[in-house]
Amino acid sequence: MASPIIELAGVAKTFESRAGATEALRAISLAVEAGEFVSIIGPSGCGKSSLLRIVGDLVEPSSGTVRVNGKSARQARLDRDYGIVFQTPVLYDWRTVLQNVQLPLELAGRQRAEREQRPRALLRLVGLDEFARHYPWQLSGGMQQRVSIARALALNPSILLMDEPFGALDEMTRERLNQELLQVCAETAATVLFVTHSIAEAVFLSSRIVVMSPRPGSIERVVPVDLPRPRGDKTRAEPRFFELVTLVRECLREDRARASA
Amino acid sequence: MLVAIAVIWEGGKALFALPDYQLPHLHQIAADFLREGAGGELWLWIMTQNAAYTALESLIGFTLGGVTGLVLAVGFAHSRWLERGLSPYVVASQTVPILAIAPMVVVWLGTSWFSKAVIAAYLTFFPVTVNMSRGLRAVDPDALALMRALAASSRQILFKLRFPASLPYLFTALRVSATASVVGAIVGELPVGSRYGMGVVIINAAQYYNWRPANLWAAILVCAVIGIAFYHAVAAVERRVVSWSRTTASI
């Protein structure tokens, strides 16, 4: 078997502040294989966002090792191996939609032809080619987040890191974007690490769900999702879908019970 | 608006029975522009020439101060040490009254336009430094994280993120500086030895005030017009440059 795309071994994180030390993550070990869609779910404050940022080398782990694409997390970041989507769209106000998607190509010093063509293709992929010349504030929240997904795909990364990308959206928009995201993933064959606090979203999207315990966050359980692909509206109505949702919910509840005991 | 000002002006004058030497009639001020000066030229023409001279000094000072302020701000944003070392002096420079410094600058640099521009720059750079260094720092942490995730160099972060993100801050400062630079240029023209500019006109008009009060009022009016014109020029540039922002103020 090929080596995992993302590999965490004994990762821990303690934040130091004037108020004292906060242990956010404890002994996280996880391997994500190529093409997998792995969701991380857990109560708020369990350090799931920190975990994602550690993989992206945006936060340093206090201990443990992180390998991404067979390299150190830092080297993978410098090689621009991953695309990232944050909870908020983080679009630059002074750039049009198209220019925002061009940003990664610009920073990487890509050729002009690629800088022109690839963002247009990506905007088509997320259904926003008509809005290329608009400024971010002229778009709805859901549209902005689609732009930010297109931007994450600009350099055709093999890995996508997504930090609650649909958390701020209404349920209808979220379900539609979930569907679009699956299509994008199928087309790009990217490996995805996806942080969420929505159980239904995690079940719908993932090949595996990592359930985390409350602070200090550690891996409580890994739930494989055996729903067939391609998934669509029918998937949400299948009995197996509800079983898995219930299973994940129970895992989360056990956590909470143990934490309060 | 102008009508309201005229009504208040003339109404106040009538109500408090203010004599002409305290508050001349508006028509007297208007008439002063059409009076012939000592050289036989119309005051309108004399004022225009001097106003242009002052405006030019202000513009040069504004540019000089703007660039100085910008350089300082970028330096401060990049190095805490530089900020800690220099900012006390930057602040101190603004606590010294400009009226006290202006004559010294004129003595050092001569009575040419250059000394006036330097004084204008002295008043211009401070708002730019303060606002811009704040703007450069007030960048959304996730916007920075994105740059980091994309392995951007610190140069790219400065020019593609920090600088554009702080443009609204810069223009807020430039609006303040625009009017301050005009004040600086006029104050620079006050010391003895200057020959052109609205400062000189004001000094002369003040000397003959008892005799011809409308002249000073006319000079003040012209100064105000220069300041307002500068302000609106900056605002117009802002609307073009920061057109992406929803929050570009309309005032």
- Asked if residue B4 is part of any domain, the answer here is no
Dump pLDDT digits (tens) for B50-94. Answer: 999 999 999 999 999 999 999 999 999 888 899 899 989 888 888
A96: nearest CA partner in chain B: B244
pLDDT at B249 over 50: no
The kind and range of the H/E element at B124 are helix B113-137
Decide: residue A244, CB within 10 A, 0-12 exposed, 13-18 middle, 19+ buried.
buried
Q: Is residue B19 part of a domain?
A: no
- CA A179, CA A193: separation in Å to the nearest integer? 16
pTM: 0.84
Average pLDDT value over all residues in chain A: 91
Residues 6+ apart with CB under 8 A from A218: A25, A26, A27, A28, A212
Q: How far is A241 from chain B (nearest CA, A)?
A: 34
What is the domain extent for residue B60? 46-241
Chain B: nearest CA to A12, how far in angstroms?
21
Chain B nearest C-alpha distance from A9 (Å): 22
Q: A84 vs B246: CB contact, 8 Å cut-off?
A: no
Asked if pLDDT for residue A1 goes beyond 70, the answer is no
Interface contact A110, partner B, CB < 8 A:
no
Provide the pLDDT for residue B210.
80
A217 DSSP assignment: B
Q: Please state the rounded mean pLDDT for residues A210-219.
A: 89
What three-state secondary structure class fits A101? Answer: helix
**Looking at the predicted structure, is the pLDDT value of residue A5 above 50?**
yes
B145, pLDDT greater than 60: yes
**How far is residue B35's CA from residue B29's CA, in Å, rounded to a whole number?**
10
Q: Which domains does chain A have, with CATH numbers?
A: 6-81+160-260 (3.40.50.300), 90-156 (no CATH)
Averaged pLDDT, A54-69: 94
Determine whether the interchain pair B150/A107 forms a contact, defined as Cβ–Cβ distance below 8 Å.
yes
**Quick check: B149 and A93 CB within 8 A?**
no
Report pLDDT for B121. 94
Q: Does A53 touch chain B (CB under 8 A)?
A: yes
Closest Cβ–Cβ partner in B142, B152, B242 for A107: B152
Whether B248 is covered by a domain: the verdict is: no
CATH code (residue B189) = 1.10.3720.10
Average pLDDT over residues A148-162: 93
Shortest alpha-carbon distance between residue A120 and chain B (Å): 20
Looking at residue B251, its pLDDT comes to: 47
Please tell me the distance in Å from A39's CA to the nearest CA on chain B. 20
Number of domains in chain B: 1
Strand pairing category for A159-163 and A82-85 = parallel
pLDDT of residue A2: 66
Average confidence (pLDDT) over B114-127: 92
Cβ distance of A82 and B167 shorter than 8 Å = no
- Count how many Cα atoms sit within 13 Å of the Cα of residue A122 in the half-sphere of its side chain: 29
pLDDT band at B17 (very low <50, low <70, confident <90, very high): confident
What percent of chain B stands above pLDDT 70?
A: 98
Query: For residue A152, what pLDDT band results from cuts at 50, 70 and 90?
Result: very high
Q: Which residues of A touch B164 (CB under 8 A)?
A: 92, 94
Interchain CB contact of B149 with A (< 8 Å)? yes
Give residue B246's pLDDT: 64
Mean per-residue pLDDT for A204-214?
Answer: 93
Quote the pLDDT of residue A9. Answer: 93
Mean pLDDT of A72-99: 94
* Chain B CB contacts of A88 below 8 Å: 142
Average pLDDT of chain B?
A: 89
Chain A contact probe: residue of B147, B150, B240 with most A CBs at under 10 A? B150
Q: What percent of chain A has pLDDT over 70?
A: 97
Q: Is residue B177 part of a domain?
A: yes
Task: Reply yes or no on whether the pLDDT at B250 is more than 80.
Answer: no
- Low-confidence winner among A51-55, A216-220, B143-147, B225-229 (lowest mean pLDDT): A216-220
Q: Which pLDDT belongs to residue B30?
A: 87
Q: Above 80 in pLDDT, residue A258?
A: no
Q: Which residues of B93-119 are buried (b: 16+ CB within 10 A; e: fewer)?
A: eeeeebeebbbebbeeeebebbbbbbb
pLDDT for residue B242 = 86
Contact present, B199 and B190 (Cβ < 8 Å): yes
The reply to whether B155 touches chain A by the CB within 8 Å rule is: no
Q: Is residue B9 part of a domain?
A: no
Residues of B in contact with A94 (CB under 8 A): 164-165, 167, 242, 244-245
Average pLDDT over every residue of A197-204:
94
Beta strands, E only, A109-207: 159-163, 191-196
- Does the distance separating the beta carbons of B151 and A107 come in below 8 Å? yes
**Inter-residue contact A209 to A225 (CB < 8 Å):** yes
Q: Do A53 and B150 touch (CB under 8 A)?
A: no
Tell me if chain A has a CB within 8 Å of the CB of B165: yes
pLDDT tens figures, A156-176: 999 999 999 998 888 888 998
Instruction: Establish if B251 belongs to a structural domain.
Output: no
Chain A residue with CA closest to B143: the answer is A90
Strand, coil or helix: what is A195?
A: strand
Among A70-74, B56-60, B99-103, B199-203, which is the least confidently predicted range?
B99-103
- Greater confidence (B222 vs B243) lies with B222
Taking an 8 Å cut-off on Cβ atoms, the answer to whether A56 and B151 are in contact is no
Q: Is residue B232 part of a domain?
A: yes
Inside any domain, residue B1: no
What confidence tens digit (pLDDT) does each residue in B167-187 have? 999 999 999 999 999 999 999
E-assigned strands of chain B?
none
pLDDT by residue (tens digit) across A21-43?
888 999 999 999 999 999 999 88
* pLDDT above 80 for B230: yes
Asked if A103 is an interface residue toward chain B (Cβ–Cβ < 8 A), one would say yes
